[in-house]
């Protein structure tokens, strides 16, 4: 059975969102169009931004999912990433703290999508 290989984030403005994610993740898109931008994050796996149905991307809508980034290293490495992302303009939702799975923090993109950084499981 095929595994999921496209992770789609609804955005209001693909230009702004592309700049945000390019800066935050330090990656460049592999495909760009006026309403859809894709980043290849692993061979055959895309993280994409889509504004084609922007009426569904209302920032006041409660989020039921998060973009997750699991990083190797110590809790200090996660704290350092937090400071780096704050310097890049990420909106802080939860400052670094220790949870049952380790050190974590949450920021939001310009549309309110949550992005959680945590240690590798």
Give the chain's domains with CATH numbers.
Answer: 1-54 (3.30.720.120), 65-121 (3.10.180.10)
Band of residue 12 on the pLDDT scale cut at 50, 70, 90: confident
- Residue 17 burial (10 A CB sphere; 0-12, 13-18, 19+): buried
Cβ neighbours, 10 Å, residue 112:
16
**Would you give the distance in Å from CA 98 to the centre of its chain?**
20
Alpha-carbon distance of 84 to 71, in angstroms, equals 14
Band of residue 77 on the pLDDT scale cut at 50, 70, 90: very high
> pLDDT, tens digit, for every residue of 18-65?
999 999 999 999 999 988 999 999 999 999 998 876 565 566 666 567
Show Cβ contacts of residue 5 under 8 Å, excluding neighbours closer than 6 positions: 44, 45, 46
């Amino acid at each position: 059975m095929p595994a999921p290989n496209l992770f789609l984030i609804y955005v209001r403005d693909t230009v702004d969102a592309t700049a945000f994610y390019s800066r935050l993740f330090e990656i460049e898109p592999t495909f760009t169009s006026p309403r859809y931008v894709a980043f290849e994050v692993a061979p055959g796996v895309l993280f994409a931004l889509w504004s084609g149905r922007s009426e569904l991307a209302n920032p006041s809508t409660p989020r039921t999912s998060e973009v997750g980034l699991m990083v190797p290293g110590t809790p200090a490495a996660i704290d350092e990433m937090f400071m780096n992302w704050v310097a890049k303009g990420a909106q802080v939702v939860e400052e670094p703290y220790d949870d049952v799975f380790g050190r974590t923090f949450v920021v939001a993109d310009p549309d309110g999508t949550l992005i959680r950084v945590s240690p590798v499981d």
